[in-house]
C-alpha cells in the first residue's frame, strides 16, 4: 500500500507523543525540567541583557507562588496579568500555574474601555501590571474594588512578589491536576468583544510537547521568538523550547530591520518568519549561511515560501492552529507537490479534522466546507458565553468558521472565512468590535468594517461609514473618525482606511451585505487615516 506524502513522518510524531508521559501539571513540568537541565539557559531576553536558567524559573516562580498564596489567592482565583515580554511575564505565569489559579493575559495595547470589558467579564480578582500600563487601568470606568491595589512590576523588578518564600519545596497544600482550568485566553470573535477561551493545564502541556517534537525532528535547540507573551503564540513558543531543554531567545521589541542579524548573532535554529522580511531586508549573499534549520511561514503564498527556503537555505512550512484547539495541523517536511497548493498540512497528533457542508454532512475530498476539529485537551468552552458555545460546537467538534478543502491524502488548504475576522499583521480583529466602537459616535448611523489587502500587513482595516441624518462629512471629517476610534480601540484595531457611504448593499433581512461591498458600493474617494492622504481611481481598485 502506497503512503501519502509525509504520512510516515506524522505517524512517527504521533506515536512518540502518545508514548510521552506528560507531567501532571505545569508546576510539575517546571520542576522536572529544572531537575534535568539545571543551570542551562532556558530563556534569553537578549535586548534586556537577562537570561533565566531552568533552575531560575522554577525557584523564582516558587517564591512568587508563595507570595500569591499569602495574599489570599488560591486555586480557582482569576489573576489578570498585563506585562510586556520580559522575565516577569514567564515567572508570574508559572507562579499562577503552581497555585492552580487562572491567568487572564491582557494585551498591553489595551486602553480603559477594553480593560473595562475584559477584567469585568473575566471576573478578575487581582492584576499584576507593569507600571507603564497604569494609565490604562486608571481609565477604567467600572473598575472592581478588588483591583484597586494592583501588584506592580517595575521594569524587570517584581518587587514584593519575590520577597522571601521558599526557593525549593513549594507546595500549595492542595492537589493540582492537568484537567484544572489554567487560563482564560481572550481571542477576537465574530460578535462584539473578545471571548475568553477556557484552557486547562493539559492544553498547554499537550500543545508544548506536540510542537517540541517538530523542533526535535529538525535538530533545533535554539529557538527565536518575538510574539508577545500575552498571546497564546508567545506562550506555546516558550513552552515548546522548554519541553526539549532548549533555549528560547526572545525579542522584547520586534524589529524587521534587525531580524536577520539577530538570527545570525544568536545562532537561532528556528523562528516564525514574518512575511514582510522578504521586502524589508534586501537579499544578501550571507542569507544562505543563516543557522536556520526550520521556519514557520504561516499563511504565506507557495511561491513566497519557496523563495524563503531558497534564500535562507532552510525548510519552511505552514501549519494551522487556533487558541480554541491549540495545534490542529502540521505540514510534514516530506509534503511533496502538496506544497504547491498552499497546504496547511495534515491533522496534528491527538487531533481529528473534518470538512462539512451547510447541512453538517462531511464533504467529499477537495470540496470546500467548514473545518471542524476535535481531540484531546481542546478548550472547555468560552467563559460565561453559553450562546457562543452553542454556536461553536457540533457535539465534540469545534466549528472553526474557516472554509477549507481536505484532499484524499488528508492534506488541508484554507480557502476563505465564514467569520467576519480581519487579520492584520497576525492580529485577529473582530469587525463587529470595530463597528460597535464607531457606532458610539452620535454622528454615525451605520458602519461596515472590512478587510482590504496590504503588502506589509497582509490585511488592513477599512471602514465604510454612513453618517446620521443631517450630518455632513464636513461636520464629521476623517480626522474626527480617527480621533473617535483612537479613544475606544487599541492601536492595532483602529481603521487605516475610511470611506463615506450613502447606503449599503443589503441582504433579504436588511443586514449589510459585506460580500457585495466593492462590487456594488465602491466609493469614489478613500481616506488613508495613517497619513491624511486620499486615494482615488486605480488606487481604490487595489483595495478591492
The number of helix segments (H) and strand segments (E) in the chain equals 15, 28
Tens digits of residue pLDDT in 454-487 = 888 888 999 999 998 899 999 999 999 999 999 9
Does residue 277 share a domain with residue 173? no
Among 138-152, 155-169, 367-381, which stretch is predicted with the lowest mean pLDDT? 155-169
Task: Indicate whether 5 belongs to any domain.
Answer: no
What percent of the chain has pLDDT above 70? 97
Residue where a domain terminates, one of 417, 447, 480: 417
CA atoms within a 13 Å half-sphere pointing along the CA-CB vector of 20 = 22
Residues forming beta bridges with residue 355, ordered by sequence position: 371
Q: Average model confidence (pLDDT) for the chain?
A: 92
pLDDT at position 507 is 63
pLDDT at position 418 is 63
Q: Which domain holds residue 435?
A: 429-543
* Spatial contact of 463 and 495, defined as CB atoms under 8 Å apart: yes
pLDDT for residue 530 is more than 70: yes
CA atoms within a 13 Å half-sphere pointing along the CA-CB vector of 440 = 14
Q: How many Å apart are CA 364 and CA 343, to the nearest integer?
A: 17
Question: Please, which residues have CB within 8 angstroms of residue 474's CB and are 6 or more apart in sequence?
Answer: none
Q: How many Å apart are CA 263 and CA 44, to the nearest integer?
A: 13
Residues forming beta bridges with residue 398, ordered by sequence position: 373, 393
Does residue 254 share a domain with residue 342? yes
Average pLDDT over residues 290-309: 92
Task: Indicate whether 14 belongs to any domain.
Answer: no
Does residue 166 share a domain with residue 223? no
Question: Please, which residues have CB within 8 angstroms of residue 37's CB and are 6 or more apart in sequence?
Answer: 53, 54, 245
Cell output for 332 = 510534514
Q: How many Å apart are CA 378 and CA 95, to the nearest integer?
A: 23
DSSP for residue 305: H
Task: Indicate whether 498 belongs to any domain.
Answer: yes
pLDDT for residue 101 is more than 90: yes
Does residue 438 share a domain with residue 411? no
pLDDT at position 1 is 47
Does residue 436 share a domain with residue 407? no
pLDDT at position 455 is 81
Cα distances (Å, whole numbers) of residue 162 to 222, 417, 498: 29, 46, 48
* Spatial contact of 345 and 330, defined as CB atoms under 8 Å apart: yes
Task: Indicate whether 9 belongs to any domain.
Answer: no
Does residue 249 share a domain with residue 162? no
Does residue 67 share a domain with residue 172? yes
Average pLDDT over residues 336-352: 92
pLDDT for residue 3 is more than 80: no
SS3 per residue for 113-129: HHHHHHHHHCCCCEEEE
Q: pLDDT band for position 542 (50/70/90)?
A: confident
pLDDT at position 258 is 96
Task: Indicate whether 22 belongs to any domain.
Answer: no
Torsion angles phi and psi, residue 455, rounded to 5: -65, -40
Does residue 272 share a domain with residue 154? no
Cell output for 507 = 441582504
Number of structural domains found in the chain: 3
pLDDT for residue 298 is more than 50: yes
Q: pLDDT band for position 319 (50/70/90)?
A: very high
Q: Where are the beta strands (DSSP E) in 54-114?
A: 78-82, 102-105
Does residue 243 share a domain with residue 168? no
Q: pLDDT band for position 510 (50/70/90)?
A: low
Average pLDDT over residues 230-249: 96
Residue where a domain terminates, one of 417, 448, 480: 417
pLDDT at position 170 is 94
pLDDT for residue 60 is more than 80: yes
Provide the CATH number for the domain around residue 247. Answer: 3.40.50.12780
Q: Where are the beta strands (DSSP E) in 418-457?
A: 421-424, 427-430, 444-454
Provide the CATH number for the domain around residue 467. Answer: 3.30.300.30
Does residue 392 share a domain with residue 276? yes
Burial (Cβ within 10 Å: 0-12, 13-18, ≥19) of residue 466: middle
CA atoms within a 13 Å half-sphere pointing along the CA-CB vector of 488 = 17
Listed residue (416, 185, 213) closest to 299, CA to CA: 416
Angle ∠(320,101,64) on CA atoms, nearest 5: 105
pTM reported for the whole predicted model: 0.83
Q: What is the largest CA-CA distance in the chain?
A: 72
Does residue 171 share a domain with residue 212? no
Provide the CATH number for the domain around residue 87. Answer: 3.40.50.980
pLDDT at position 433 is 83
Does residue 367 share a domain with residue 449? no
Residue where a domain terminates, one of 394, 417, 440: 417
pLDDT for residue 99 is more than 60: yes
3-class SS at 426? coil
Tens digits of residue pLDDT in 398-455 = 999 888 999 999 999 987 666 677 888 878 787 878 888 898 899 998 899 988 888 8
Q: How many Å apart are CA 32 and CA 37, to the nearest integer?
A: 9
What percent of the chain has pLDDT above 90? 74
pLDDT at position 428 is 77
Q: How many Å apart are CA 81 and CA 161, to the nearest integer?
A: 13
Q: pLDDT band for position 164 (50/70/90)?
A: confident
Task: Indicate whether 488 belongs to any domain.
Answer: yes
pLDDT at position 231 is 92
Helix (H) or strand (E) holding 542: helix 538-543
pLDDT at position 445 is 87
Amino acid at each position: 500500500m502506497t503512503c501519502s506524502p509525509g504520512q510516515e513522518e506524522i505517524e512517527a510524531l504521533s506515536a512518540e507523543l502518545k508514548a510521552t508521559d506528560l507531567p501532571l501539571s505545569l508546576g510539575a513540568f517546571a520542576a522536572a525540567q529544572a531537575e534535568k537541565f539545571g543551570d542551562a539557559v532556558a530563556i534569553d531576553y537578549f535586548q534586556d541583557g537577562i537570561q533565566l536558567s531552568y533552575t531560575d524559573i522554577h525557584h523564582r516562580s516558587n517564591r512568587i507562588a508563595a507570595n500569591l498564596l499569602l495574599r489570599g489567592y488560591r486555586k480557582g482565583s482569576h489573576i489578570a496579568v498585563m506585562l510586556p515580554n520580559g522575565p516577569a511575564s514567564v515567572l508570574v505565569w508559572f507562579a499562577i500555574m503552581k497555585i492552580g489559579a487562572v491567568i487572564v493575559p491582557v494585551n498591553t495595547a489595551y486602553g480603559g474601555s477594553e480593560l473595562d470589558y475584559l477584567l469585568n467579564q473575566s471576573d478578575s480578582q487581582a492584576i499584576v501590571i507593569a507600571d507603564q500600563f497604569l494609565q490604562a487601568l486608571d481609565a477604567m470606568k467600572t473598575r472592581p474594588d478588588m483591583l484597586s491595589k494592583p501588584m506592580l512590576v517595575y521594569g524587570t523588578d517584581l518587587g514584593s512578589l519575590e520577597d522571601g518564600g521558599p526557593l525549593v519545596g513549594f507546595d500549595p497544600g492542595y492537589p493540582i491536576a492537568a484537567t484544572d482550568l489554567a487560563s482564560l485566553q481572550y481571542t477576537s470573535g465574530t460578535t462584539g468583544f473578545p471571548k475568553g477561551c477556557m484552557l486547562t493545564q493539559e492544553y498547554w502541556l499537550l500543545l508544548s510537547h506536540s510542537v517540541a517534537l517538530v523542533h526535535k525532528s529538525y535538530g533545533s535547540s535554539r529557538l527565536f521568538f518575538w510574539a508577545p507573551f500575552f498571546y497564546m503564540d508567545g506562550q506555546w513558543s516558550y513552552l515548546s523550547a522548554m519541553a526539549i531543554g532548549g533555549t528560547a531567545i526572545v525579542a522584547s521589541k520586534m524589529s524587521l530591520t534587525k531580524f536577520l542579524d539577530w538570527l545570525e548573532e544568536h545562532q537561532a535554529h528556528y523562528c516564525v518568519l514574518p512575511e514582510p522580511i522578504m521586502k524589508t531586508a534586501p537579499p544578501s549573499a550571507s542569507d544562505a549561511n543563516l543557522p536556520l534549520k526550520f521556519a514557520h511561514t504561516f499563511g504565506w503564498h507557495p511561491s513566497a515560501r519557496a523563495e524563503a527556503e531558497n534564500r535562507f537555505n532552510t525548510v519552511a512550512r505552514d501549519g494551522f492552529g487556533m487558541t480554541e484547539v491549540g495545534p490542529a495541523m502540521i505540514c510534514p517536511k516530506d509534503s511533496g507537490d502538496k506544497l504547491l497548493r498552499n497546504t496547511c498540512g495534515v491533522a496534528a497528533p491527538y487531533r481529528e479534522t473534518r470538512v462539512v457542508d451547510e447541512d453538517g454532512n462531511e464533504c467529499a475530498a477537495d470540496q470546500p466546507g467548514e473545518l471542524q476539529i476535535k481531540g484531546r485537551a481542546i478548550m472547555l468552552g468560552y467563559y460565561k458565553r453559553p450562546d457562543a458555545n452553542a454556536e461553536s460546537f457540533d457535539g465534540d467538534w469545534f466549528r472553526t468558521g474557516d472554509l477549507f478543502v481536505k484532499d484524499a491524502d488528508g492534506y488541508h488548504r484554507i480557502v476563505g472565512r465564514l467569520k467576519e475576522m480581519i487579520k492584520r499583521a497576525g492580529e485577529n480583529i473582530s469587525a463587529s468590535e470595530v463597528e460597535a466602537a464607531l457606532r458610539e459616535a452620535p454622528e454615525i448611523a451605520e458602519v461596515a468594517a472590512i478587510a482590504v489587502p496590504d503588502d506589509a500587513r497582509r490585511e488592513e482595516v477599512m471602514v465604510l461609514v454612513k453618517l446620521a441624518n443631517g450630518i455632513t462629512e464636513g461636520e464629521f471629517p476623517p480626522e474626527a473618525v480617527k480621533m473617535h476610534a483612537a479613544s475606544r480601540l487599541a492601536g492595532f484595531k483602529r481603521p487605516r482606511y475610511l470611506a463615506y457611504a450613502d447606503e449599503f448593499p443589503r441582504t433579504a433581512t436588511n443586514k449589510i451585505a459585506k460580500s457585495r461591498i466593492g462590487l456594488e458600493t465602491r466609493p469614489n474617494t478613500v481616506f488613508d487615516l495613517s497619513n491624511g492622504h486620499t486615494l482615488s481611481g486605480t488606487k481604490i481598485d487595489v483595495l478591492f
